Amino acid sequence: MKKMIAILLAAIMLLGVVGCAAKPAAPAAAEQGKVFNIYAWNEEFKGFFEKYYTVPEGVTVNWIINPSDNGVYQQKLDEALLNQANASADEKIDMFLAEADYIGKYVDSDYTMDVTSFGFKNADTQYEYTIKAASDKNGVCKGVSFQCCPAAVIYRKSIAMDVLGTDEPEEVQAAIDSWEKFNAVAAQAKEKGYYMTASFAETFRAFSNNCTKPWVDENNNLQFDDQITAWIDQTDEFIQNGYTLTAGVWDTEKTNQMFADGKTMCFFGPAWYYNFCMTNAQDPDNGCVGDWRIVEGPQPYFWGGTWLLAATGSDNTEMLKDIFETFTVNEDVCSKLVENENQYPNNTAVVEKYANDPSYGNTSILDGQNDIAVFANLAQNIKWENHTNYDQLLNEGLQNKLQEYYNGSVDKETAMKNFYNYVKETYANINVPEA
CA-CA-CA-CA dihedral for 30, 34, 35, 36, to nearest 10 = 40
Q: Which is nearer to another protein, 190 or 336 (CB)?
A: 190
In this structure, how many other beta carbons lie within 10 angstroms of the beta carbon of residue 247? Answer: 21
214 binds another protein (CB under 8 A): no
Per CB under 8 A, 178 contacts another protein: no
Closest separation in Å from C-beta 322 to another protein = 27
Q: Does residue 419 contact residue 397 with C-beta atoms inside 8 Å? A: yes
Q: CA nearest 77: which of 20, 43, 39?
A: 39
Site residue total, another protein (CB under 8 A): 41
If one asks whether residue 393 binds another protein (CB under 8 A), the answer comes out as yes
User: CB-wise, 41 or 127, nearer to another protein?
Assistant: 41
Nearer to another protein, 230 or 435 (CB): 435
* Selected binder of another protein within 60, 62, 75, 286 (CB under 8 A): 75
From 60, 116, 340, 407, residue interacting with another protein (rule: CB under 8 A): 407
428 binds another protein per the rule CB under 8 A: yes
Of the candidates 11, 15, 17, 82, which one interacts with another protein according to CB under 8 A?
A: 82
Q: Which of 238, 389, 391, 419: binder of another protein (CB under 8 A)?
A: 389
Residue 288 φ then ψ, to 5°: -150, 55
For the bound state, the minimum distance from the C-beta of residue 39 to another protein, rounded and expressed in Å, comes to: 14
Of 58-66, 71-79, 180-188, 190-198, the window that binds another protein (rule: CB under 8 A) is: 71-79
3-state secondary structure of 270: strand
Nearer to another protein, 336 or 417 (CB): 417
Kindly tell me which of 186 and 393 has the beta carbon lying closer to another protein.
393
How far is residue 17's CA from residue 313's CA, in Å, rounded to a whole number?
Answer: 18
From candidates 66, 282, 364, 426, binder to another protein by CB under 8 A: 426
Q: Do 276 and 141 contact (CB within 8 A), yes or no?
A: no
How many Cα atoms within 13 Å fall on the side-chain side of residue 23? 11
Judged by CB under 8 A, does residue 435 bind another protein? yes
- Interface with another protein, residue 13, by CB under 8 A: no
Contact pick of 32, 158, 386, 400 for another protein (by CB under 8 A): 400
Q: Is residue 200 part of the contact set for another protein (CB under 8 A)?
A: no
Is 109 near another protein (CB under 8 A)? Answer: yes
Tally of CB atoms within 10 A around 263: 14
Stretch that binds another protein, among 30-38, 195-203, 318-326, 406-414 (CB under 8 A): 406-414
Q: What are phi and psi of 45, to 5 degrees?
A: -70, -30
DSSP string, 209-255: TT-SS-SB-TT-BB---HHHHHHHHHHHHHHHTTSS-S--TT-HHHH
Round to whole Å and give the CA distance between 299 and 177: 7
SS3 151: strand
Contacts of 434 (CB under 8 A, 6+ apart): 420
Burial class (CB in 10 A: 0-12, 13-18, 19+), 385: exposed
344 is a site residue for another protein (CB under 8 A): no
| Contact flag: residue 246 with another protein (CB under 8 A) | yes
Contact by Cβ (8 Å): 397, 423: yes
CB under 8 A: which stretch of 24-32, 130-138, 263-271, 421-429 binds another protein? 421-429
Residues that bind another protein (CB under 8 A): 69-71, 75, 78, 81-82, 105-106, 108-109, 111, 246-247, 251-253, 256, 389, 393, 400-401, 404, 407-410, 413-414, 417-418, 420-422, 425-429, 434-435
